[in-house]
Amino acid sequence: MASKKSEPKNESISEAFHQLLEKGFSEEAVINIITNTLKAACKRRYGTAENCIVKISEDFKDVSVFQRKVIVDGVYDPNTEIEIDEAKELNPDSELGLEIDIPINLSEFDRSAVQTGKQTAHQSFTEIQKDSLYAEYKMKIGETIIGYYQRERKDTIYVDLGKVEGVLPPRNQLKTERYEKNDRIKALIVDVKKSSSGLQIILSRTDPDFVRSLLEVEVPELYDKTVEIFKVVREPGYRTKVAVFSKREDIDPVGSCVGLKGGRIKGVITELGNEKIDVLKYDPDPRVFIKNALSPAEVSAVYIRDEGKRQALAVVPENQFSLAIGKQGLNVRLANRLCDWNIDVKTEEECSAEELDELVAESRKAVQELFNDDYDEITTIQELPGVDENVAAILKENNIVDIEDFMAASENGELANIQGLTEENIATLLALIESSVEFIEEEESESDVDSSDAVDSDDNSEEVYECPECGAAITIDMTTCPNCGVGLSFEEEE
């Protein structure tokens, strides 16, 4: 393909290129913007941009535009073809059938072509900025952000977030809250959407993860994973239940979240408009977990009716019944969602004799198991009672079969790299291990102890003394000295 040296560089385009680089645009983005702008102007000027070639030097100082034409003998389309004689004037090496790049003088473009180029450049800038902001805020989904009330339209609140505008739909608002112009709003980023008008950041103040995020800010133990949140359920504006657990026995997970005199939880309650928050301890035993989940009510006992269907009965004293049920059934409804069990609450008087007998039998069984010294040895994940088979299968595929291997992987952070294993799966399994397994060091066997005692007894029986008369060697089993014949008697000193 023949070509001709381009016109002198266009200083204004080169300057614009460097100005865009200084504003933070990437080289690739700036090249695309300038290329698309010049091609749009060419299309407006010549009717097509398919044969428009934009060349940019490596140092970005030279920007040239060409029209690539086919060398022919008899021109049919002057925009894509050039006569052989005319081509040889531009390049002596030109031949029929070859292509030649003809330089375009940008100063010859009319006003309409220039205007088209400007519009294309503006659209390109808008798209690049939108893509950049989209990528930035997409990474922030699940984080809290602070903005300011801007306006309200059809019950949807628009929040000024600085670079972009946040949208707080009616379903994501707390019904008890009202805002005025420039009021501060803290919310959770739940989604990011592109629209014709720009970028929309979807916010929420009703999502359970909003409470989780607020707690992680207030409680250092949650940040360093010493205490972890098992699950959060909410009835926005009214009540929230948070189940927590700790990997260390010396740390109280509930106390860590509540803080001294409620200092830590108060900040969260205030942010949620005085919404009630129950922080309770997670337990892998469903009976204990259900009992905790029905707080602040005191539960006498929990009876598992059908483990397969996850149905349970909670028995409470008469004076605790309304507290366990809650206003319009709110408390027991949240407990159902938190434990993922269908919980029926009855008073002791409402329970049938048969149900009470079964409760007593279960209580006796629990006491027997508590004081039973016979333990089953558990070494693998699969042997854990109530373990999720899917989780065990995923760990097995990653060569984690033994409980000790799982604990080691948890400590060094390898579990986070296992595909298909969520943080909730890990937290549940850690809590299950903590409640089901006791790690003990191997002790010296009884046979070793017996043999050691035997050696000590042999040493005692062979202890040698001196005869008080002649000084000959005697032992404790002798009655007379074998040397001098004096009688011997051994007495223990008090």
pLDDT tens track of the chain, all 494 residues? 544 444 434 556 667 666 666 666 667 777 777 777 777 777 777 777 777 777 777 766 677 777 787 888 887 877 777 788 777 877 787 778 888 777 777 666 656 666 666 676 667 667 777 777 888 888 888 889 999 998 888 888 999 888 888 899 999 998 888 888 888 999 999 999 887 777 888 999 999 999 999 999 899 898 888 999 999 999 998 999 999 999 888 889 999 999 888 889 999 999 898 899 999 999 999 999 999 999 999 998 888 888 888 899 898 888 999 999 998 899 999 999 999 999 999 887 877 665 666 666 665 665 555 555 455 677 888 777 778 888 888 888 888 888 888 888 888 888 888 888 888 888 888 888 877 777 665 544 444 444 444 444 444 445 777 777 777 777 777 777 776 766 666 665 55
Q: Which of 171, 158, 236 is nearest to 199 (CA)?
A: 158
Could you tell me if 158 and 202 are in contact, meaning their C-beta atoms sit under 8 angstroms apart?
Answer: no
Four-point Cα dihedral 381, 385, 387, 392, nearest 10: 20
Q: What crossing angle do the helices spanning 286-293 and 330-339 adopt, rounded to 10°?
A: 150
Q: Per 3-state DSSP, what percentage of the chain is helix, strand, and coil (rounded to 5)?
A: 45, 25, 35
Q: What angle do CA 157, 160, 161 make, to 5 degrees?
A: 120
What angle do the packed helices 403-412 and 423-436 form, to 10 degrees? 130
For the whole prediction, is pTM greater than 0.85? no
Count the Cβ atoms, other than its own, within 10 Å of residue 469: 13
Contact 93, 103 (CB under 8 A): no
CB atoms within 10 A of CB 248: 11
Distance, CA of 138 to CA of 147 (rounded, Å) = 17
Determine the angle formed by the axes of helices 11-22 and 27-46, rounding to 10 degrees.
Answer: 140
Q: Tell me if 381 sits within 8 A of 402, measured CB to CB.
A: yes
The helix (run of H) or strand (run of E) holding residue 134 is helix 111-138
Among 433, 391, 413, smallest CA distance to 249 is for: 433
Secondary structure class of 294 (helix, strand, coil): coil
Kindly give the residue spans of alpha helices, DSSP state H, lying in 259-305.
263-271, 286-293
pLDDT given at position 233: 94
Q: What is the pLDDT of residues 360-374, one digit of tens each?
A: 666 566 555 555 545
Residues 6+ apart with CB under 8 A from 82: 69, 70, 71, 72, 75, 100, 102
- Phi then psi dihedrals of residue 278, to 5 deg: -105, 115
Cα–Cα distances (Å) from 377 to 90, 118, 195, 204, 357, in that order, read 91, 76, 60, 48, 32
Q: How far apart are CA 338 and CA 218, in angstroms?
A: 22
C-alpha to C-alpha distance for 234 and 212, rounded to whole angstroms: 11
pLDDT recorded at residue 305: 83
Cβ atoms of 25 and 128 within 8 Å: the answer is yes
CA distance 235 to 215: 17
Length of the chain, please? 494
Of 143, 144, 173, residue with least CA distance to 158: 173
Distance CA(348)–CA(303), nearest Å, equals 12
Summarised one tens digit per residue, pLDDT across range 58-75 is 766 677 777 787 888 887
Measured between alpha carbons, how far is 93 from 100 in angstroms, rounded to an integer? 10
Q: Give 475's contacts (C-beta < 8 A, 6+ positions apart).
A: 462, 463, 464, 465
Cis peptide before 296 (omega within 30 of 0): yes
DSSP state of 442: P
Please name which of 225, 387, 284 lies closest in space to residue 406, comparing C-alpha atoms.
387
Residue 315 sits at φ, ψ, to 5 deg, of -105, 130
Residue 315: alpha-carbon gap to chain centroid? 37
